[in-house]
């Protein structure tokens, strides 16, 4: 494949995929992104102005704009990453999630199907539509239940996960009804450089560096499987190039941890890398706050299928990945300042001000 269209390529995971394609392959990337609040062109690094990177500022719900992009760039594959992805935001405003994640996926599917129908020969046979989803579509698990597999029934808990479940169902329906050659991946919680600081790990890092409280829902007992974003990007590229059409692949980091343990690990790394001026541990800033509605208890991914069939393995442990992530935020204060827009500050006020009130 020489031309790949990536939606959401200026976002957290998308920018990691774009950077890898530009740095490690000869692929031309058509980057389709509407550049919403969580997109950041700085995250693309050297890829942004590379001659094999084509940026198209397009909303995936805009059918005419998408048709133009397909017509002009003639992609050989689509990797669909564009999505509203923050559970807390979906609780406060579910409409945006339905619009982007469901209507946007529908629009992209229809444009891709019409384009694919016009292809011939090897171009048509080789075309793939890779839909990137989340483990949250499966709902949650009890402490002793086995991890999610590719055949786990869907049971989404939040407006976000419900919108992603709906988009997964659409992709499978387009494969079954129209024959569109698709692959789907469902990943666990990502972390790493360039993540928008509304998510747990960057929020804790940046609040700690600013001397602010570290707000943790409930008692921090919720369990997640953590996946370093560069490992995820490698997996996505592998699935697009070698995954079997019609298949689903779960991608996990094999790193289940309670949220409190993750925050403790962040604090311990920061105690070594950036100690507090008062000499106290960063752990003393942890504040337990009211839990969010419908908070899933545990996610766990069985990623044995992608390991067995495609030979992928996560390269980073949670400890090594956290250290790399923290060092990146310490070394890139300009990136941090640019993303701290008024919109981000307003969001923190909306979601945490009342929870952190005395």
Q: What is the pLDDT of residues 262-306, one digit of tens each?
A: 999 999 999 999 999 999 999 999 999 999 898 999 999 999 999
Q: Name the pLDDT band for 127 (thresholds 50, 70, 90).
A: very high
Measured CA to CA, the distance from residue 31 to residue 44 in angstroms comes to 11
Question: For residue 11, what is the enclosing H or E element?
Answer: none
Tokens 């008062």 map to which residue? 278
Inter-residue contact 356 to 289 (CB < 8 Å): yes
> In this predicted structure, what is the pLDDT of residue 1?
79
Domain 3-194+226-256+297-317 has CATH 3.40.50.720: yes
> In this predicted structure, what is the pLDDT of residue 210?
95
Q: Is the pLDDT of residue 358 over 70?
A: no
Tokens 């060092």 map to which residue? 327
Q: Which two tokens stand for residue 316?
A: 């980073």
Q: Name the pLDDT band for 36 (thresholds 50, 70, 90).
A: confident
pLDDT tens sequence across 48-72: 999 999 999 999 999 999 999 999 9
SS3 labels along 10-28: CCHHHHHHHHHHHHHCCCE
- Most distant CA pair in the chain, distance: 68
Ranges of each domain in the chain: 3-194+226-256+297-317
Of 15, 8, 21, 53, the residue nearest 240 (C-alpha):
21
Burial class (CB in 10 A: 0-12, 13-18, 19+), 264: middle
- Pairing mode, strands 128-134 and 77-80: parallel
Catalytic residues: 135-136, 160
Of 309, 202, 316, the residue nearest 254 (C-alpha):
316
Measured CA to CA, the distance from residue 284 to residue 240 in angstroms comes to 44
């Amino acid at each position: 494949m020489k031309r790949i269209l990536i939606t959401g390529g200026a976002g957290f995971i998308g920018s990691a995929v774009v950077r890898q394609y530009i740095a490690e392959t000869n692929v031309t990337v058509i980057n389709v992104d509407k550049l919403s609040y969580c997109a950041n062109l700085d995250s693309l690094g050297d890829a942004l102005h590379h001659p094999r990177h084509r940026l198209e500022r397009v909303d995936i719900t805009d059918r005419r704009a998408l048709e133009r992009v397909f017509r002009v760039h003639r992609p050989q594959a689509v990797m669909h990453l564009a999505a509203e992805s923050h559970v807390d935001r979906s609780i406060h405003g579910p409409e945006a999630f339905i619009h982007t994640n469901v209507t946007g996926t529908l629009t992209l599917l229809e444009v891709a199907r019409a384009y694919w129908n016009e292809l011939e020969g090897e171009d048509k046979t080789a075309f793939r539509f890779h839909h990137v989803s989340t483990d949250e579509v499966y709902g949650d698990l009890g402490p002793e239940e086995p991890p999610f597999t590719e055949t786990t029934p869907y049971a989404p808990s939040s407006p976000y996960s419900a919108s992603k479940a709906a988009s997964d169902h659409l992709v499978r329906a387009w494969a079954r009804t129209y024959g569109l050659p698709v692959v789907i991946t469902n990943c666990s919680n990502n972390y790493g450089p360039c993540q928008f600081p509304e998510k747990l790990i960057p929020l804790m890092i940046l609040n700690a560096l600013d001397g602010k409280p570290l707000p943790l829902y409930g008692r921090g007992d919720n369990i997640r499987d953590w996946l370093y974003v560069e490992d995820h990007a490698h997996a996505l590229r592998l699935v697009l190039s070698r995954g079997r059409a019609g298949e689903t692949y779960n991608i996990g980091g094999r790193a289940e941890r309670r949220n409190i343990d993750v925050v403790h690990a962040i604090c311990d790394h920061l105690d070594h890398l950036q100690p507090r001026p008062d000499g106290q541990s960063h752990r003393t800033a942890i504040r337990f706050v009211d839990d969010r509605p419908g908070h899933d208890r545990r996610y766990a991914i069985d990623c044995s299928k992608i390991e067995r069939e495609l030979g992928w393995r996560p390269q980073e442990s949670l400890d090594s990945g956290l250290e790399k992530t923290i060092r990146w935020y310490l070394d890139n204060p300009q990136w941090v300042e640019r993303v701290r827009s008024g919109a981000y500050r307003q969001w923190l006020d909306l979601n945490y001000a009342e929870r952190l009130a005395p």
